[in-house]
């Protein structure tokens, strides 16, 4: 009888593109079977922090809080240059103008909030954070329910159509600050499963991603199903932007980027990272 591995990733096109073959059974992880949950990034962060998932897509910010129990895979993550979250406003203003204002974020454990918090610290401003599901943030800015918002995913491509203004590109801010690509999310696996299983899952994710590259039309119905009302051109731009070479393997530079951001998260949140490997060794 096969052991069931609980796996979670988001319904966003980059994740469904990467994991389609695993979800469909075209790629298997013998002798395991997968119990897959698709959820918003902050919900996934909560699942991982509670230990409810064996394998889970997490924000790198959230990863700082689970490194004792989880190790990161080298494949399946979202990282790159020019891929970071955007800080949007309804009217033109400066960073200083946001002092004391209400700012929407897609969850306190997201990398987006980490980057925004680091920027606020550098700018010496304090704001009131308002947590929302990511797709509610742009409407909230437009309706003036908040003064600004940190937008992720397809918001990068669609905000201008909503009459919003880009105050800052938080990914570019990180790149200028660190000289490294921005690691948005990684795939975490429970350390207790052991290195052999972790390497097997990592290889399966690479195979799943490769199959989508080879025949993206096979994955398209699954991607489209979970992308809700997103326009086809936006879906394809989303995949092109957030599925990068780092999604196949983080590489040395990717390791450095994740390590640097984890350290920043630990300092900001007042926690200590365990003296354990961050990534599986393969």
- Known catalytic residues are 153
- CA separation for the pair 66, 78 (Å, rounded): 18
- Beta strand 128-131 with 102-105: parallel, antiparallel or unpaired? parallel
DSSP 223-269: HHHHSTT--HHHHHHHHHHHS-HHHH--HHHHHHHHHHHHHHHHHHH
Buried b (16+ CB within 10 A) or exposed e, 193-217: beeebbbbbbbbbbbbbebbeeeee
Residues 6+ apart with CB under 8 A from 51: 69, 190
Query: How is residue 2 annotated by DSSP?
Result: P
- Beta-carbon count within 10 A of 54 CB: 23
Is there a cis peptide before residue 161, judged by omega within 30 degrees of 0?
A: no
| Residue from 15, 11, 39, 20 nearest 220 by CA | 20
- CA separation for the pair 131, 134 (Å, rounded): 9
The answer to whether 180 touches 253, Cβ cutoff 8 Å, is: yes
């Amino acid at each position: 009888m096969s052991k069931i591995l609980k796996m979670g990733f988001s319904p966003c096109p980059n994740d469904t593109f990467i994991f389609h073959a695993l979800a469909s059974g075209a790629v298997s992880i013998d002798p395991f079977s997968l119990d897959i949950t698709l959820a918003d990034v902050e919900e996934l962060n909560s699942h991982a922090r509670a230990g409810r998932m064996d394998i889970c897509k997490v924000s790198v910010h959230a990863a700082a809080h689970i490194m004792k129990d989880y190790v990161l895979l080298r494949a399946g993550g979202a990282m790159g240059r020019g891929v970071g979250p955007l800080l949007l406003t309804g009217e033109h203003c400066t960073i200083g103008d946001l002092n004391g204002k209400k700012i929407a974020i897609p969850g306190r454990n997201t990398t987006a909030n980490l980057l925004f918090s680091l920027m606020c610290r550098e700018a010496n401003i304090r704001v009131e954070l308002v947590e929302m599901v990511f797709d509610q943030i742009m409407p909230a800015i437009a309706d003036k329910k908040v003064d600004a918002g940190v937008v992720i995913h397809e918001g990068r491509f669609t905000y201008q159509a909503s009459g919003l203004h880009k105050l800052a590109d938080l990914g570019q801010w990180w790149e200028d600050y660190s000289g490294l690509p921005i690691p948005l999310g990684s795939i975490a696996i429970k350390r207790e499963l052991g290195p052999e299983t972790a390497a097997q899952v990592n290889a399966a994710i690479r195979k799943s991603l490769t199959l989508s590259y080879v025949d993206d039309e096979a994955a398209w119905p699954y991607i489209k199903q979970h992308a809700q009302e997103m326009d086809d051109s936006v879906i394809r731009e989303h995949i092109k932007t957030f599925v990068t070479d780092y999604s196949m393997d983080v590489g040395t530079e990717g390791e450095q980027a994740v390590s640097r951001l984890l350290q920043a998260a630990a300092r900001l949140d007042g926690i200590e990272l365990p003296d354990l490997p961050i990534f599986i060794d393969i």
